[in-house]
Amino acid sequence: MNRHFNWRPRQAIIGTQLSPLLKSWLDTPDSLTARVKENCRQCFSLRVHAEAWQRPYVDEARRLQMPLWQEAWVRVITLRCGDVPWVLGRTVMPRDSLRGRRSRLRSLGTRPLGSVLFTGREVVRSAIEVRRLEADDPLVGEHRAAGGKPLPLWARRSTLAILGEPILVTEVFLPELEYGAAYRQDLD
Ligand code: VNL
């Protein structure tokens, strides 16, 4: 089986060599924006790397139960502390998930996803899955294109059902996050 399908339940990190810091980031409820903002005392920023109609990766199409040929609205961003990227976020939004009030998800620009998400029972998050990325993983390729170091990295993903239609949210924890956030903790 293709290793890109190797998403596992969140419990799979038990017994791994993951640092407590990274474990706690993997378990952050909801979006990571607030946590990056809290931990970064320099300026928080969000950089948009892509917002476009694209064919999702095969594992993404499967997770969203989309036909493999169908395009979705794909948004790739990095959450940054100063100019250092800490988290790479990739959101795949099928066409049906952008109808009606949800159409504003297509024009986020530098506003974080969480800032336009609907509240309360209108958004239902699925269980978190985790995966270790190899150096040649396409998700890491996006990180490299964003100027980052190639390293084994961890990612998490889950679906958000928004007014009943799913989007897929994948977050990659970049090496700079560990250095940056650990350094900040030492200061406290
Ligand atoms: C965004 C913001 C995406 C925070 C994220 O994960 C995130 C976004 C995909 O604005 O697209 O944690």
Query: What confidence tens digit (pLDDT) does each residue in 134-172 have?
Result: 777 888 776 665 566 656 689 999 999 999 999 999 999
- Secondary structure in 3-state letters for the chain: CCHHHCCEEHHHHCCCCCCHHHHHHHCCCCCCHHHHHHHCCCCEEEEEEEEEEECCCHHHHHHCCCCCCCCEEEEEEEEEECCEEEEEEEEEECHHHHCHHHHHHHHCCCCCHHHHCCCHHHEEECCCEEEEECCCCHHHHHHHHCCCCCCCEEEEEEEEEECCEEEEEEEEECHHHHHHHHHHHHHC
How much is the average pLDDT of 98-114? 94
Which residues form the pocket of ligand 1, taking CB atoms under 6 Å from any ligand atom? 31-33, 46, 75, 77, 79, 89-91, 108, 112-113, 169, 171
How much is the average pLDDT of 47-60? 96
The pLDDT mean for the chain works out to: 86
Calculate how far, in angstroms, residue 188's C-alpha sits from the geometric centre of ligand 1.
26
pTM for the model: 0.90
Query: What confidence tens digit (pLDDT) does each residue in 175-184 have?
Result: 888 777 765 5
